[in-house]
Chain A
Amino acid sequence: MKNIKKENLITVSVFVIIIFFFAITFWAQKDVAFSEQENRVLQTLPEFTLEKFISGQYSKEINVYFADQFPFRDSFVGAKGIVETVLLKRENNSVVLGKNDNVAVRDMYPIEGGTVDFYNEEKMTAIGKILDQFSEELTKNGIDSALLIPPRTLDVMKSSLPNLFPSYRTESAYELLENELGDSTYVKLLDMYRKMYDNGEYVYYNTDHHWTTLGAYYAYVEIMKSFGMDYYELSDFDIETASDSFFGTTWSRSGFKFVGCDTIEYFHLKGADESKYTSTIHDTTYTKGEMKGFYDRDYLKMKDKYSSFLSGSNKYTSIIKEGEERETLLLIKDSFGHSIAPFLALHFNVEMIDLNYNNNIASYFKTLDVDKVVLVYNMENVISTDNIGKLRFKITTEQ
Chain B
Amino acid sequence: MVFSSLIFIFLFLAVNLLVYFTVPKKLRNLVLLITSLAFYGWGEPLYIALMLFSIGTAYIFGYFVGKYRETDKKKARVYLVISSLLNLASLLFFKYYNFFASNLGFSQIEKIDLPYWLMALIFILVLDMIVVASVCFSSMKKNSKLITSVVLGIVGIASAIALPMMSGGVLGKIYELKFTLPIGISFYTFQIMSYTFDVYRGDGSVQKRVIPFAAYVTLFPQLIAGPIVRYKDVDDQLTYREHNIDKFAHGVRTFCAGMMKKVILADGMAAFFKYLGDIAEFENTTLGAWLIVISYTFQIYFDFSGYSDMAIGLGRMFGFEFLENFNYPYISRSITDFWRRWHMSLSTWFKDYVYIPLGGNRKGLPRQFFNIAVVWFVTGFWHGASWNYILWGVYFGVILIVEKLFLLKWLKNAPKVLSHLYAIVLILVGWLIFAFPDMNEGMSVLKAMFGVGVDSFATSGVVYDMLRYLPLMLICIVGATPLPKKIYKSLTEKYAIARYLVPVGVAASILICTAYMVDSSFSPFLYFIF
Question: Which A residues touch B15, using CB under 8 A?
Answer: 23
Question: Which B residues touch A335, using CB under 8 A?
Answer: 527-528, 530
Q: Which residue of A lies closest to B466 (CB)?
A: A164
A311 to B15, CA, bound (A): 48
A80 to B515, CA, bound (A): 5
Q: Which residue of A lies closest to B245 (CB)?
A: A4
A59 beta carbon closer than 8 Å to chain B: yes
Interface residues of B in 488-510 (CB under 8 A from A): 499-500, 502-503, 506-507, 510
A283 to B383, CA, bound (A): 57
A229 beta carbon closer than 8 Å to chain B: no
- Known interface pairs A116-B275, A356-B529. Does A77 touch B503 (Cβ–Cβ under 8 Å)? no
Tell me which of B45, B252, B503 contacts A54 (CB under 8 A): B45
User: A354 and B471: CB pair below 8 A?
Assistant: no
A73 beta carbon closer than 8 Å to chain B: yes
Counting contact residues on chain B (CB < 8 A from A), the size range is: 35 or more
Which of the candidate stretches B2-10, B79-87, B213-221, B293-301 sits at the interface with the other chain?
B2-10
A389 beta carbon closer than 8 Å to chain B: no
- Known interface pairs A53-B45, A162-B464. Does A18 touch B511 (Cβ–Cβ under 8 Å)? yes
Question: Which A residues touch B530, using CB under 8 A?
Answer: 313, 334-335, 354, 356-357
User: B10 and A26: CB pair below 8 A?
Assistant: yes
User: B7 and A62: CB pair below 8 A?
Assistant: yes
User: B527 and A22: CB pair below 8 A?
Assistant: no
B279 beta carbon closer than 8 Å to chain A: yes
B519 beta carbon closer than 8 Å to chain A: yes
The 8 A CB mask of B214-250 against A (1 = contact, 0 = none) is 0000000000000000000000000000001110111
B469 beta carbon closer than 8 Å to chain A: yes
B410 beta carbon closer than 8 Å to chain A: no
A42 to B510, CA, bound (A): 24
User: In angstroms, how far is the closest chain B Cβ from the Cβ of A119?
Assistant: 9
B173 beta carbon closer than 8 Å to chain A: no
User: A59 and B468: CB pair below 8 A?
Assistant: no
- Known interface pairs A89-B468, A116-B278. Does A39 touch B527 (Cβ–Cβ under 8 Å)? yes
Tell me which of A67, A116, A304 contacts B282 (CB under 8 A): A116
User: B460 and A37: CB pair below 8 A?
Assistant: no
User: A93 and B502: CB pair below 8 A?
Assistant: no
A317 beta carbon closer than 8 Å to chain B: no
A252 to B523, CA, bound (A): 10
A19 to B11, CA, bound (A): 9
User: B249 and A9: CB pair below 8 A?
Assistant: yes
Q: Which residue of B lies closest to A5 (CB)?
A: B246
The 8 A CB mask of B38-52 against A (1 = contact, 0 = none) is 000011111000000
A22 to B14, CA, bound (A): 10
User: A77 and B512: CB pair below 8 A?
Assistant: no
B459 beta carbon closer than 8 Å to chain A: yes
Interface residues of A in 73-110 (CB under 8 A from B): 73, 76-77, 79-80, 83, 87-91, 93
Tell me which of B281, B511, B521, B529 contacts A112 (CB under 8 A): B281
A209 beta carbon closer than 8 Å to chain B: yes
User: In angstroms, how far is the closest chain B Cβ from the Cβ of A69?
Assistant: 10
User: A166 and B459: CB pair below 8 A?
Assistant: yes
User: In angstroms, how far is the closest chain A Cβ from the Cβ of B266?
Assistant: 14
Interface residues of B in 104-158 (CB under 8 A from A): 115
User: In angstroms, how far is the closest chain A Cβ from the Cβ of B492?
Assistant: 8
Question: Which B residues touch A116, using CB under 8 A?
Answer: 275, 278-279, 281-282
User: A56 and B43: CB pair below 8 A?
Assistant: yes
User: A249 and B524: CB pair below 8 A?
Assistant: yes
- Known interface pairs A12-B249, A79-B512. Does A166 touch B275 (Cβ–Cβ under 8 Å)? no
A73 to B459, CA, bound (A): 38
User: In angstroms, how far is the closest chain B Cβ from the Cβ of A11?
Assistant: 4
A200 beta carbon closer than 8 Å to chain B: no
Which of the candidate stretches A184-192, A219-227, A263-271, A379-387 sits at the interface with the other chain?
A379-387
A342 beta carbon closer than 8 Å to chain B: no
Tell me which of A14, A39, A87 contacts B524 (CB under 8 A): A39
A70 to B256, CA, bound (A): 20
A77 to B519, CA, bound (A): 5
B365 beta carbon closer than 8 Å to chain A: no
Q: Which residue of A lies closest to B507 (CB)?
A: A14
User: In angstroms, how far is the closest chain B Cβ from the Cβ of A39?
Assistant: 5
A194 beta carbon closer than 8 Å to chain B: no
Question: Which B residues touch A232, using CB under 8 A?
Answer: none
User: A381 and B500: CB pair below 8 A?
Assistant: no
Question: Which B residues touch A93, using CB under 8 A?
Answer: 519, 522
User: A77 and B515: CB pair below 8 A?
Assistant: yes
User: A8 and B245: CB pair below 8 A?
Assistant: yes
- Known interface pairs A79-B511, A88-B468. Does A14 touch B506 (Cβ–Cβ under 8 Å)? yes
Question: Which A residues touch B514, using CB under 8 A?
Answer: 22, 70, 76
User: A67 and B521: CB pair below 8 A?
Assistant: yes
User: A11 and B524: CB pair below 8 A?
Assistant: no
Q: Which residue of B lies closest to A20 (CB)?
A: B14
User: In angstroms, how far is the closest chain A Cβ from the Cβ of B247?
Assistant: 9
A10 beta carbon closer than 8 Å to chain B: yes
Q: Which residue of A lies closest to B119 (CB)?
A: A54
B166 beta carbon closer than 8 Å to chain A: no
User: In angstroms, how far is the closest chain B Cβ from the Cβ of A121?
Assistant: 9
Q: Which residue of A lies closest to B504 (CB)?
A: A14
A40 beta carbon closer than 8 Å to chain B: yes
A59 to B11, CA, bound (A): 13
A114 beta carbon closer than 8 Å to chain B: yes
User: In angstroms, how far is the closest chain B Cβ from the Cβ of A214?
Assistant: 21
Interface residues of A in 246-267 (CB under 8 A from B): 249, 252-253, 255
- Known interface pairs A11-B249, A88-B468. Does A40 touch B515 (Cβ–Cβ under 8 Å)? no
B414 beta carbon closer than 8 Å to chain A: no
User: In angstroms, how far is the closest chain B Cβ from the Cβ of A306?
Assistant: 9
A114 to B42, CA, bound (A): 31
User: A8 and B249: CB pair below 8 A?
Assistant: yes
A169 beta carbon closer than 8 Å to chain B: yes
Question: Which B residues touch A169, using CB under 8 A?
Answer: 461
User: In angstroms, how far is the closest chain A Cβ from the Cβ of B418?
Assistant: 33
Q: Which residue of A lies closest to B519 (CB)?
A: A80
Question: Which A residues touch B20, using CB under 8 A?
Answer: none
Interface residues of B in 423-480 (CB under 8 A from A): 459-461, 463-464, 467-472
Question: Which A residues touch B256, using CB under 8 A?
Answer: 15
Beyond A56-B45, A114-B278, 19 additional pairs, beta carbon < 8 A:
A1-B245, A5-B249, A12-B248, A12-B252, A14-B506, A15-B256, A38-B522, A54-B45, A67-B518, A67-B522, A68-B521, A70-B514, A88-B468, A162-B464, A164-B464, A165-B464, A249-B527, A304-B527, A313-B530
Which A residues contact B (CB, under 8 angstroms)? 1, 4-5, 7-16, 18-20, 22-23, 26, 37-40, 53-56, 59-60, 62-64, 66-68, 70, 73, 76-77, 79-80, 83, 87-91, 93, 112-118, 162-166, 168-169, 209, 249, 252-253, 255, 304, 312-313, 334-335, 354, 356-357, 380-381, 384-385
Which B residues contact A (CB, under 8 angstroms)? 1, 5-7, 9-11, 13-15, 17, 42-46, 115, 244-246, 248-250, 252-253, 256, 264, 268, 274-275, 277-279, 281-282, 459-461, 463-464, 467-472, 499-500, 502-503, 506-507, 510-512, 514-530
Q: List 15 A-B contacts (CB under 8 A).
A: A7-B500, A8-B248, A11-B249, A11-B503, A14-B503, A23-B14, A54-B46, A63-B5, A76-B519, A77-B515, A79-B511, A80-B519, A83-B516, A89-B268, A164-B464
Ranked 5 nearest A-B pairs via Cβ: A114-B278, A166-B461, A67-B521, A8-B249, A40-B525
